[in-house]
Homo-oligomer: A and B are copies of this chain.
Amino acid sequence: MRLALSLAEKARGKTLPNPMVGAVITQNGKVVGQGYHRGPGSAHAEIVAIKSAGVKTKGATIYVTLEPCCHSGRTGPCTEAIIEAGIKKIVYACKDLNPLVNGRGAQALRRSGLKVENGLMKNEAIRLNEVYFNAIKNRRPFVTLKIAQTIDGRIATLSGDSKWITGKDARVFAHKLRSENEAVLVGLGTVKADNPSLTTRHLQGNNPYRIVVSESLEFPKSCKLIANNKDHKTIIATTKRSLNEYSKNKKTNGLTFWEIKKSGKNRLNLADILQKAYAFGIHSILVEGGSLVATSFLKAKLVDKLVVITAPLFLGSGLNSIGNLKIGAIKNAIKFKNYSRFQCGQDQVFVGYPDWKH
């Protein structure tokens, strides 16, 4: 199963709206076939593994990271292929919550006389497809908030200097996060302060969509997100009024505009932004800042995963990563359901899943 999970991982960022899936076939404890799903339209992991095993599938065991499908999409149902291959036992890590499957895949296999087990490395398998499961459950994109800070929680000096707090390895990691998300989201403040490209550099990977959230559309003069929009991946989330004003005066240069409802006097409705993104086909968003946007997402409890990269630096007063969340008592601080920490070059990465129900 560990091998199957690592196979699945190979297609991270490429399978959506499908899940990442890996499969391994064994005979007498020896691996005889393996495969993973490369993305929409490609064969499912089980099919790839069965093909790679050839005649050795007779009486074999298949390990799959996700319950096999029993419906015909662009490819035939995997349950049938597994039965036809003469496989005698299946172990899958977690249920496919897709309403078209959701236990029926396992049922079909059991009915055909296969031995069916599940739950092996379940947590890892759920984590692997957190974006996919979130889409099914919440029908909105999975939101990751990334913060790069000093030990004392500053994201810049008082004068705004932030280059570079984190080290080279952490910056590569941050670009990996970009490549694994379908969209990156920032506020206009960050566009003004940093004039970022928001592309994946430092490593090979997809360029995500670039969502700028702002009621005002006062972009800096040579704004990279607008000027370098040959791939038409820049999206402006703003109000109808701002949009009308903007399109009167300026060429839209391949930009996509989303009309967002307002929430209170000075805020765009973040839930509405997520709805627009989901309808657009975006299943995962990396929120990169600034502080205002990050604070709004946390306040709205719309952060699914928090990634904090902490450099071994101390600043004292400076710009804070997060503003006022109106938390008056320590017992009401944001807690995490699951979290882990790892070293990334000189820096430390914290990855946690906020427990909004607490």
Residues of chain A touching chain B, judged by Cβ–Cβ distance below 8 Å, are 147, 149-154, 156-159, 161-165, 295, 298, 306, 308, 310, 312-318, 320-330, 333-336, 339, 341, 343, 348, 350, 352, 354
Contacts and interface: CB of A to CB of B under 8 A. Distances in A.
A161 B330 contact: yes
A312 B336 contact: yes
Nearest to A303: B314
A206 to B, nearest CB: 29
Contacts of A334: 313-315
10 contacts: A150-B153, A152-B320, A153-B153, A157-B330, A314-B325, A314-B334, A315-B327, A315-B334, A317-B320, A318-B327
A328 B329 CA distance: 32
Contacts of A316: 295, 298, 322-327
A322 B157 contact: no
Contacts of A162: 330
A351 B41 CA distance: 51
B328 A157 contact: yes
Given A157-B328, A316-B327, 16 more contacts: A147-B152, A152-B322, A153-B153, A157-B329, A159-B328, A161-B328, A161-B329, A163-B330, A295-B316, A298-B314, A314-B322, A314-B334, A315-B325, A315-B330, A315-B334, A317-B323
Nearest to A163: B330
Q: Tell me if A's interface is mostly helix, strand, loop or mixed.
A: loop
Contacts of A318: 327
Contacts of A323: 316-317
Contacts of A350: 151, 312, 348
Nearest to A346: B339
Nearest to A306: B314
A153 B312 CA distance: 13
Contacts of A147: 152
Contacts of A313: 330, 333-335
A337 to B, nearest CB: 11
A15 to B, nearest CB: 30
A265 to B, nearest CB: 20
B295 A352 contact: no
Given A153-B153, A161-B329, A354 B324 contact: no
A310 B308 CA distance: 12
Contacts of A324: 158, 316-317
A74 B146 CA distance: 59
A172 to B, nearest CB: 19
Interface centre among A158, A164, A295, A327 (most CB of B within 10 A): A327
Nearest to A295: B316
A243 B51 CA distance: 88
A322 B320 CA distance: 12
